[in-house]
Chains A and B, each alone.
Chain A
Amino acid sequence: MNCRFSKKPLVLAVAMVLGGTTMIAAPQLAFAAKTAGTYVTGDFHNHTTCSDGSISMQKLVKKVTDKASNGGDTPWGLDWFVQAGHGGNGNRNCTLVEDATLSTPAYPYVSGKGPTTTWTDSIGAGNIKGLNGSSSGNMWRWQSLQEFQYPLMEYLNALKGLPLFLGMESVVAGHEHSSMSVITGQIPSALDNVSLPGAPGYTALGNANALAQWEYCFDRADTDNSRGAGNAWDCSVTGSLNSGDANWNSTAAKLTNNNGVSGHNKTLEALKWMKENHLTGSYYVPAHLERAGPFNTAGANGYNIEHLRNFNNAAPMTAFGFETQPGHGAANNRGEYQVLRNNFGTNGGTVDSVGGTTYGGTGVYGAQIGGVWDALLGEGRNWWFFASSDWHNRGSFGPDDRRSTQDFYPGEYQRTAVMVRNGADKLRPQTIVDGLRTGNAFSASGQLIDRMAFVACASYPGLGNRTNSSVETIAKNAALSNTDIDVAGCATMGEKLKVRPGAEIVVSIVVRDPDGSNYSPYTFNNPSLAQVGISQPINKPVLDHVDVIRGMVTGYKTPGAADYSGEWPRNTAWLSATGMTPADLSGVPAAAKNTSAAILKTFDSYAWATIPGNPEYKSMTFRIPAVQASQYIRLRGTNLPASVPYETDANGNPLADLFTNANDTTMLRIPCTTGHSAGSQFDGCPDHLATATSGTNKLGVAITNPIAGQKAVSYDVAAWSDLWFYSNPIYVEVAGTTVVAGVK
């Protein structure tokens, strides 16, 4: 008799019974992990001869993406690059290369032609489209983008295997300029397998039609009325007045109001159009937004905070930040910011750039703790800090000279590093724009730092307690591998950490201050630091300290409310003739400040630790105890200690760059005394530095300059001497208090 007792049915029975009467939870949908990514550096604001730049697209791409390891003559190779000239029109053909070294099979060098050759002399006047195109020789940017610049950019993308695409520095209705792009149609995936031509001529697989249409429809400088010739564009926005608007031009099928509030409203239409048609395929980042002064109700000048709020409200997925660290870093008026720069005519006379000058190379909106940026962050907005080169030319020097009295190449001086989550895929425009949108980015000048991990983690007494070392390990691993932080209960830049009241926040920061030389050509000691007895070669900067800045979040301001709008104090109400600014923000309207913002911690070499085996990496960890209200933290750092004369104040804040701007030599104050050798302009103070003078300054004040007659820190030497980095914020949203609504 076979009487084996099988346990299997018994087990099944028990399982059946228990399964029938006991519901045991099983995970349904695990929280989606972020796609892996790395921080990659790029630039989205720069010019070629198609607008007011000085070189061809090919030369610019080569300059900014070459790496020394690839035999390039410029070593600062960026990981991604958006070529972005002005809207409007231009008469030069930037697709023609300067010489045979820049030849490619599809775009060979043509003897006697180059990037300053006109469209008329290259393609023929008859081929220039739109209003007055043929007669003026000026090609509207929409045609240039659509028919000439995009095909070349796509070709270079495929040829070099680099994420190159097109954007624009729009000439903004109601304001000055803005970096932007619509990437729809650009760099299609089919390009991965393209077979490039071996002879002149290239037919693009993708297109920049959307960007071109946007330029036609909304750029202030585009007064064409042809509807893009054969494109037959209509600039209507769903739900807007469009043809019912008094400013609608029916022939052009677009709005033509370009100044003041009316112009600003046109720009809001532009943002609505982007939101409607290219929600994730566009970005809009006001550029050097303090330069042209405050908002001008009768013109097209700067931006007040209410305009930034309006942009972000209208299209939060598109208008998510600003270029408050401008390019033009080597100019005689750093960033091209200066006192009495802007003529408002009868609507205000001559008006300073907002803040008067830059502050350590950054505009006052971003540089002033408790100012405009903190006001926006204090609302819980997704409003991020970016830096771009605004490359045009080298000023007094040729494009291949390492000296500059005007601009730095993209990547040479300022670099924005952005977390791009491309997984195993290559870098593509969409993932790059997605990365910009997240705010997981930091910007550094002079390669002061080139790696950053910035993380905030929740900690609770008992089971949820995190040690400092556990969070430091998270940051250290991320920094060492240049990757993201994806840990439950932690957040990094551009993200919000949701916690219960009373949570402790463990913050860890790891930055890499790279050894060796940066991309500065100058090897003599930093004259700004020499004032305080520090001997440090300009091209080997050392991070002096890192500030942690904290502000509280109190929610969005209501449009129309008194604290929604307000102009930054104009002219000497902010920057006095002596170069000093008010000691506090009392003169700043409520709308434009966040008085809760302050330095929470400062770390220097005495306070940070170095990672064993990796001394370039500085590690800083601290705890914010028992948070009871929503807040944010952000970082800045510099090579300059506090109280460096004419550079930093006693609290380490950057002073106005008035004292290094060569456009007013009476205000230059930092002598540059190291002589250079006969054969070099780089081992000592170069000849092109300005000489300080006494006399009447730009504001009409008689100045006796203590260094009159001496070479003074100015131009590119001023920029290389004065380095900063800025991180984007980490938000902490405390349950039951203000919601950080701008970050999802």
Chain B
Amino acid sequence: MKLNLIPVLLAGLLSAAPAFSATPVTIDFEGPTSYASIDQYYNGGADSAGAVGVNLGVTFGLDALAFQHDLLSFSNAPSPVGVMAPVNSDAALNYAAGFTTGAMFYYSSANATSVGVYDGLNGTGNLLGTFSLASNDDSSYSNWSLATLTFNGTAKSIAFGQAASALTGFDNVTIGAVPEPTEALMLALGLGVVAQVVQRARRKQASV
């Protein structure tokens, strides 16, 4: 196998349609204004302070506020500048187009809490799954853990407002991105094959 075909193989593997059942969208909260409601910032509109973001088709309830590191003392967040925290119940992430398969995010919380995924907007409709979030921090917001969830059906919202009373922070929320276990296995096998090819090629190169 020619080595210059490896990237192509890898691309084919990663982009294989069955591997992900929906286009993943990741919200890193690096852009919206600190202390502002994120609101329409990721929907082609503005946050409550007037800053305009990219259109990802995602909106947030008005109690989902952005917070930026230069004003506050959180650390080690997966994307370093901004995070999100719900300050009351109206803090759902809404994706009207719907997302399937799963979702994941990083969180930091001194208190155990949970976040539900629903097939309706604003945390309405059927509960498709629940993130159960264990306490992972001492209120310094310096430890951030990845939480993943897979579910069946098409989700339209994540009800982050449920975590408001636990004073939980969130970052790098990805929707429609968590592989099914079988799909993950196939992906791992494929990547293993690629790795072996690369290794073999390197050995061959070393013996020349």
Contacts and interface: CB of A to CB of B under 8 A. Distances in A.
B87 interface: yes
Query: Which secondary structure dominates chain A's binding surface?
Result: loop
Among B4, B7, B14, B67, max chain A CB count under 10 A is at B7
B167 A13 contact: no
A471 to B, nearest CB: 10
Nearest to A9: B7
B52 interface: yes
B94 interface: no
A458 B35 contact: yes
Interface string A446-470: 0000000000001011111110001
A487 B34 CA distance: 9
A500 B63 contact: yes
Contact of B28 (A16, A21, A24, A735): A24
Nearest to B50: A31
Interface string B163-190: 0000111000010010000000000000
Nearest to A4: B205
Contacts of A462: 85, 87, 139, 167-169
A39 B141 CA distance: 38
Given A462-B85, A500-B63, A26 B177 contact: no
Given A25-B53, A31-B49, A462-B167, A9 B35 contact: no
B22 to A, nearest CB: 9
B193 interface: no
B85 A463 contact: yes
Contact of A5 (B26, B33, B202): B202
A614 to B, nearest CB: 24
A25 B205 CA distance: 41
A17 B15 contact: yes
A701 interface: no
A16 B11 CA distance: 8
A3 B36 contact: no
Interface stretch (B68-76, B117-125, B127-135, B150-158): B68-76
B19 to A, nearest CB: 9
Contacts of B31: 25-28, 30
A20 interface: yes
A31 B46 CA distance: 10
A489 B83 contact: no
Contact of B30 (A10, A25, A489, A503): A25
A744 B34 CA distance: 19
Interface string A3-39: 1110001101110111011111111111110000000
A1 interface: yes
A27 B30 contact: yes
Size category of the binding interface on chain B: 35 or more
B24 A23 contact: yes
Contacts of A17: 10-11, 14-15
B35 A463 contact: no
Given A17-B15, A463-B67, A23 B56 contact: yes
Nearest to B66: A488
B137 to A, nearest CB: 11
A589 interface: no
B115 interface: no
Among A12, A30, A31, A32, max chain B CB count under 10 A is at A31
Given A14-B10, A26-B54, A460-B85, A21 B72 contact: no
Contacts of A18: 14
Contacts of A461: 87, 167
A27 B53 contact: yes
Given A30-B51, A460-B85, A735 B4 contact: no
Contacts of A206: none
Contacts of A470: 71
A521 interface: no
Nearest to A464: B67
A488 B62 contact: no
B112 interface: no
Interface string B9-22: 01100110000100
A23 B74 CA distance: 25
Nearest to A5: B3
Interface in B97-128: none
A555 interface: no
Among A21, A461, A487, A502, max chain B CB count under 10 A is at A21
A10 B6 contact: yes
Contact of A22 (B24, B42, B50): B24
Contacts of B36: 31, 488-489, 498
Interface in A698-744: 735
Contact of B15 (A3, A20, A28): A20
Contact of A502 (B74, B83, B87, B204): B87
Nearest to B29: A25
A489 B4 CA distance: 52
A75 interface: no
A501 interface: yes
B93 interface: no
A502 B88 CA distance: 9
B208 A3 contact: yes
A34 to B, nearest CB: 12
B71 A488 contact: yes
Contacts of A24: 26, 28
Contacts of B34: 488-489
Given A3-B208, A27-B53, A500 B24 contact: no
Nearest to A22: B24
Contact of A10 (B10, B25, B168): B10
20 contacts: A3-B208, A9-B6, A12-B7, A13-B7, A21-B15, A22-B23, A22-B26, A23-B54, A24-B26, A25-B31, A26-B30, A27-B31, A458-B35, A461-B167, A488-B33, A489-B35, A500-B65, A501-B88, A502-B87, A502-B88
Q: Which 4 A-B pairs have the closest CB atoms?
A: A489-B35, A462-B167, A27-B31, A13-B7
